[in-house]
Chains A and B, each alone.
Chain A
Amino acid sequence: MKISKEQVQYVARLARLELEPEQLDNFARQLATILDYMETLSRVDTTGVEPTAHVLSITNAFRRDQVRQHLDRSQALANAPASEEGSFVVPKVI
């Protein structure tokens, strides 16, 4: 499968990654090789086969909606690169 640099660039943008020109070349080449290999899947007859997302028979795990022990605000913010007045601080959005 041919993957253009523009396609890699587009996907990188979706994934919030910014690639150097050299990385873009590398990834385009490597992805083409990898996706060629993935093409083998298209040869498998999967007519009427249900997809598997999860291998166990458990479905939903319910619990009571009760307040339990939880992290306090200072613990939750302790690793934040920036915080102020009990909130995460992000760079200017608009």
Chain B
Amino acid sequence: METIIKNTITDKLIAGFTASKNTLFGDGILREQAMESFSKLGVPGRKSEEYKYVNMEQALKGDLAAASPKPISEGQLNSLKVIGNAIVLVIINGRFSAEHTKFNNNIKGLQVMDIAEASGNAVFQKHYAKYADINSDPFVALNTAMATGGVFMHVEKGTVIERPVHIIHISSSSESMIIHPRNLIVLEENAQATVIESFVTVDASAKVFSNALTELFIDASAILQHYKIQEENENGYLVNTTQALQKKQSVFSTNNFTLSGSLVRNNLNIVLDDEQIETHLNGLYLTKGNQSVDNHTLVDHRKPNCNSNELYKGIIEEKSTATFNGKIYVRKDAQKTNAFQSNKNILLSDDGTINTKPQLEIYADDVKCSHGTSTGKLDEDKIFYLRARGLSEASAKKLLMHAFASEVVEHIKIDELRDYVEAKITARFA
């Protein structure tokens, strides 16, 4: 029975590709290969080790139309802007919106364009689909086959982009739909940039399944600050793959905030492909209702003398489910690696579920690696202490949840963005 359902869903997606492939940008051969890989891998079922805690078959069942464009108003867009001086790039239903993107490429050393228009660009050709492996994951394969648009961003050697780049992914539909936004961000040697990716639903009155993929190439000594703010509504289903490759002495900090959405699966894969690389991964997920949030992270230490530091925290309410799976590979060559990982959860209800699995695979012998995980309720002694000073039990809990979250929030280096996330958390626990 399971096989039949699975085949049906996979077949449906293959049929979607066959119907639309002639309209898609770029390399047709790559797309065919990706689809072939997808048809082999198929939609992962509950027996799949990598996807056992998120019900992808459920999320993908039923009719899912191919993405169609949908206009949104300037007013709606303005309400999604968070940072005053940001370069705002808009993707609606997997397509780059030239209409809403006001940036006119007037910053030296920075090129930004619709990825669907980038096929002739040499930098694009050098990097596109080189890091996210179509044979490793069905959603990478599916996105590579089906991608309709997104952002291609290129920061030239030695260029420091002061203004944050805010990529807003909008899902908007009144009928069930599947979309495949695709981004490629390339930082050349010594370049610096800050990129915020936000994921929102606007006028989404039916299920929108977004299979979004961003590839990041961070060349030697480049510094990339990366944020993901995920706040789709209950019709939002999001599989969000971030595939990063770091070169020598580069610094990559990525901070993921999952604030809402029916289902969110993050695949964050970072390859440390040279020496003296620094990597920071922080995540916060606040789940409630029947929400399911699954963070899979992979830090792949391939060369010596690199540092990675990972902190993921979650507050789980009501019947929601949160999953954290953190893999760290330290390969044989990667001596003198420092790799740390911590996952902490607060479970506020008896009906909520947290699955946490740290996975360290270490093949080098001179390394410092550690991982820790904890799941608990709010500390009664702390609640009592605050109540003994006159705070109501509700205020005391609110303050403690805020404090728990702040350990992640304080990693946000942009004041406006930090205030925005703070306000969301405050509203959530009000």
Same complex origin of A and B: no
Binding site for A on B (CB under 8 A): none
Binding site for B on A (CB under 8 A): none
